[in-house]
Structure 1
Amino acid sequence: MGDPGDQLDEVIGALAAGRTAAQVVDAEGRLAWVSEQMQLLAGVTEDTDLGLGRHLDEVLEREVWNDLLTPEAVATLRRELHPRLADPSSAPLWVLSLDLRVGGRHRGVGMLGVTLRHEDGSPLGAVLIYAPLLPARVLALVSEGDEAMFTRMADLSEPAQRPAAVVFADIDGSGPLSRRLPTPVYFELIRGVTTAFDELVARHGGIVGKHAGDGASAYFLRDSHGSDAAAAGAALRAVQELPGIVDEVVADLAESGAEVRAADCRLNVGAHWGADLFIGQIVTGGRLEVTALGDEVNECARVEQVATGGQRLVTKNLVERLDEEGAAELGLRPRALTYRMLAELTADGGAAGGKAERDAGSLAVHDLG
């Protein structure tokens, strides 16, 4: 019979190679290991004392685990684990339903327990693996999303002030277009544009905001990119690439026989910098999204509303966040750009123009188109 410590280390090494939320306890019921994913769920920092090497009864009294596990979950773990470690005849596998507290909400999870034993049947320890209680088809839908973006969204469980670049986009003349095209074709167009927009935002390290009809929004946080310049550069790169990806969507539809051309589907874009945005998750029974509130969000929406014919209006506040290297990578020469006041572009006097002039008329904007 090998050394128990070595054998547990082999189990831990195998688990660490995966990406599961898991814990390992030894034969005495002491916490031997906590996976990285479990630590992320618990909000562990470098200073957090997980209780490694301590008996699970003591560990479960620590603040970090009390914050994560509901009292009922703690009681269930204590009741179920100890007899299974002590009784060689107990089933090697067991499944429990537990509630965790994540992001201020109770989340039901399934826990798979695996009792570890030596060849002679004596206890070696146990593995506790946590997994979401979701049907396979729901998990399949979630897995289709961009993992890196979901991770960035998970980091925003606590709303806080976070500087970011904001991008709004909307299809120009979508009303006449929706009436001209068959409804299934128009739906495919909107779905294709929305999907392409989301993929582009993810590729450049952003977070997708709300979608409403044929409109979309995105945020590029300084926290995610490391600096104002990097966040602004990522947003502007996405704005530069938007026309190309929309043209690809339209071309694919046209190949399928739809009567739609690139000129029929131009995205009007507004992009702005928000130094004082309040950004966080909104999680309900029917949705998970990230939203931002602040004057700059409203101003960006007005900039986009003023854009026409596929204009990509970016504010001076955003462009001047770039450093020299970032500007060069984008092919921009900030010192040579000229700007116009948004109020100058609202001469039609319509409702949208009036609101834009009132809320953001003094903003200086440049058309990247």
Structure 2
Amino acid sequence: MFIYEHSEDLLEGIVEYLHNRGAVIQELLSKKMPTLIPFAVLVADLQESCRICAELPPEEYFEMIHEMRETLEESFRKYYGIHGKHAGDGMVYYFLKQRDSNYLVNALSCALEIKERMREFSRQWKTKKRWLNELYLNVGINEGEEYFGVLRASSSIEFAALGETINYAARISDLARFGTILVTKNLVNKLPEEERRMFALGLRKKHPEGEVFVKNIFSRVIDLASPDDPLKAKFMDVATLPVTELTGRGTPALR
């Protein structure tokens, strides 16, 4: 769900902004009934945000969150992401299926780019605060086809998505750690082979000689959660959901 508020000028800006995201949104604005639309959703949460909030003065914490969002916004615009509502200090972005762009490739490419931007942002705040904190944005990405509807009020336009697609993305973002990008098998299966090869996907597995990365493999959420994790119960509704990790770019198939 994503919400925009206040004034006719802002409303005009919103319509212009959405127009640049394609004809799909324009159709939504013209319809009173919900429309079934395929999309990818990216949910990103700042790791240990409660601890960081406790450590910083309020004005500095809000400054940090504001700067983080400004830093990442360029990447979301580049890949046609549409900002959604997030209950906390994380972010939700939707990538709608359009005639002129690949929404799945856009979502994955955007996730990799914001990961790189976060590394630089974390480095800058280390220098600024002279602290040892690393700032990680943990990401979950899912794909689905849900009903999007438009709810209008005198001072706002609200687009609402019904279904479990965003809930699953939020759950796996909670599971991710240290800037990991977790992607559902459902999304990966929608990628043609050539596009799948554009990305490095797989999981880290424990080995007697250390940790190894196994390409093109998935795991159920319940098997990735630590057995002694006190929050393990929160993943029970997605326990059998297969996911993999997006670690970087792959090698596209030659034409």
Fold shared by both chains (TM-score > 0.5) = yes
Deviation of 1:154 after TM superposition, in Å, equals 4.1
CA-CA distance at 1:249 after TM superposition: 3.0
> Hey, what does 1:208 align to over in structure 2?
83
Q: Deviations over 1:169-190 (max 9, x none)?
A: 1000001111112222211211
TM superposition shift of 1:284: 3.4
Q: 1:218 to 1:271 in 2, by over 3 A?
A: same
In the alignment, is residue 269 of structure 1 matched against residue 139 of structure 2? yes
Indicate the SS of the match to 2:98.
Answer: helix
Higher strand proportion (structure 1 or 2)? 2
SS of the aligned residue for 1:244 comes to helix
Conserved 8 A contact 1:210-1:289: no
1:368 aligned counterpart, secondary structure: strand
Identity within the alignment, %: 29
Question: Is residue 183–residue 243 contact of structure 2 (8 Å, CA) maintained in 1?
Answer: yes
Alignment partner of 1:273: what SS? strand
SS, match of residue 205 in structure 1: coil
Q: CA deviation at 1:309?
A: 2.4
What corresponds to 1:33 in structure 2?
Answer: none
Q: Which amino acid aligns with 2:112?
A: Q
CA distance in 1, matches of 2:78, 2:244: 24
Q: 2:223 aligns with which of 324, 329, 344?
A: 344
Partner residue in 1 for 2:49: 174
Counterpart amino acid of residue 230 in structure 2:
G
Distance 1:187 1:199 in 2: 19
Which has the higher relative contact order, 1 or 2, with Cα contacts under 8 A spaced 6 or more apart?
2
Q: Which residue of 1 aligns with 2:149?
A: 280
Deviation at 1:289, TM superposition (A): 4.3
Equivalent in the alignment of 1:303: 172
**Could you tell me which of 189, 192, 202 is aligned with 1:320?**
189
Counterpart of 2:94, as a letter, is Y
Residues 145-154 or 244-253, more deviating: 145-154
Structure 1 residue 191 and structure 2 residue 66: aligned?
yes
**Residues 71-86 of structure 1: matches in 2 within 5 Å?**
none
TM-score scaled by structure 1? 0.53
Residue identity in the other structure for 1:270: G
Q: Distance in 1 between matches of 2:125 and 2:243?
A: 33
Tell whether the 8 Å contact from 2:42 to 2:169 is kept in structure 1 after alignment.
yes
Q: How many aligned residue pairs are there?
A: 227
Say if 2:115 is the partner of 1:247.
no
| Structure-2 residue corresponding to 1:366 | 244
**Larger radius of gyration, structure 1 or 2?**
1
Q: Distance in 2 between the 1:314 and 1:348 partners? A: 23
TM superposition score normalised by structure 2: 0.74
**C-alpha root-mean-square deviation of aligned residues, in Å?**
3.3
SS class of match (1:211)? coil
Q: Could you list the runs of 5+ residues in structure 1 that have no partner in the other structure?
A: 1-131
Q: Which amino acid aligns with 1:354?
A: A
Amino acid at match of 1:363: L
Q: Structure 2: which 5+ runs fail to align? A: 1-6, 203-213, 248-255
| Residue of structure 2 equivalent to 1:219 | 94
Matched residues in 1 for 2:107 and 2:194: separation?
15
AA paired with 1:350?
P
